[in-house]
Amino acid sequence: MLEVTGLHVAYGGIQAVRSVTFHVNEGETVALIGANGAGKTSTLKAISRVIDAVGGDVHFCGEKITRIASHDIIRKGVAMVPEGRGVFPRLTVAENRAMGAFVRNDKAGVARDLDQVYGHFPRLEERAAQLAGTLSGGEQQMLAIGRALMGRPKLLLLDEPSMGLAPLMVEKVFEVVRMVAAEGMTILLVEQNAKLALEVCSRGYVMESGLITLADTSAALLADSRVRAAYLGE
């Protein structure tokens, strides 16, 4: 479904991502792990066209999307939950959630998906009329994921969904990630919490200093002494 080939991202003279190549098959949940500053977020931003890549190609469902507009990326079926959640703080929970469906015209389907999002995150239904900016960090993360799901994407990009959350809230968020994956959603997950990411995903890539240095099944990466030393504290 997603094929990234020789991707380069730079900020001025700083090379954030250097010749990165990887793929995600339809129906897979794939982790991209690494330390802060490894280039993970820049990779997701380049895929979703929030920033421009300076080299390389991105193909989605066989179509080259490297240079198309970011709003067209959404229409093609790629949704991103950004690092830091990115909710609209002065809109209500219900309004934020509805914004995720702005590319859709199927009113009956949208209504069903609204109910499904509330089924995944009952707390959001309780706070439907509350301004998003007044929610806790965990509730905002729930809202950001729910908003992305409202677009009924083919590919969901998740950027550091556990960041800054209490352990119980992390558990709830990843429970939904597992549920959505089990329903067939294709997911590319960026996470600093390597153990959590690899437990959720079937395959993983390790990024260091803008490069992919390891790629394998999650089980193999969890057993790899280099991964255990660098990311699992062993």
Instruction: Find where tokens 């914004």 sit.
Output: 99
Report pLDDT for 231.
Answer: 85
Interatomic CA distance for residues 109 and 224, integer angstroms: 44
Report the pLDDT value the prediction gives residue 150, as an integer from 0 to 100: 93
Q: To which residue do tokens 């702005």 refer?
A: 102
Question: How remote is the C-alpha of 114 from its chain's centroid?
Answer: 20
C-alpha dihedral (34, 37, 39, 41), degrees to nearest 10: 90
Q: Which residue shows structure tokens 């556990």?
A: 162
pLDDT per residue, tens digit, the chain (234 aa), is 999 999 999 998 899 999 999 999 999 999 999 998 999 999 999 999 999 999 999 999 999 999 999 889 999 999 999 988 899 999 999 999 889 998 888 888 888 888 888 888 898 999 999 999 999 998 999 999 999 999 899 999 999 999 888 898 899 889 989 999 999 999 999 998 899 999 999 999 999 999 999 999 999 999 999 999 988 876
The topology under which CATH files domain 25-43+69-231 is: Rossmann fold (3.40.50)
Q: What is the pLDDT of residue 104?
A: 85
Please report, for the chain, the start and end positions of each structural domain, with discontinuous segments joined by +. Answer: 25-43+69-231
Q: DSSP assignment of 160-196, as one string?
A: -TTTT--HHHHHHHHHHHHHHHHTT-EEEEEES-HHH
Token digits for 150?
A: 């409202």
Contact between 149 and 156 (Cβ < 8 Å): yes
The partner residues of 188 in beta bridges, in order of sequence, read 30, 157
Q: Which of 106, 168, 182 is nearest to 137 (CA)?
A: 168
Sorted by sequence, the CB contacts under 8 Å of residue 173 that are 6+ apart come out as 138, 141, 142, 145, 161, 162, 165
Provide the total of helices (H) and of strands (E) in the chain, helices listed first: 10, 10
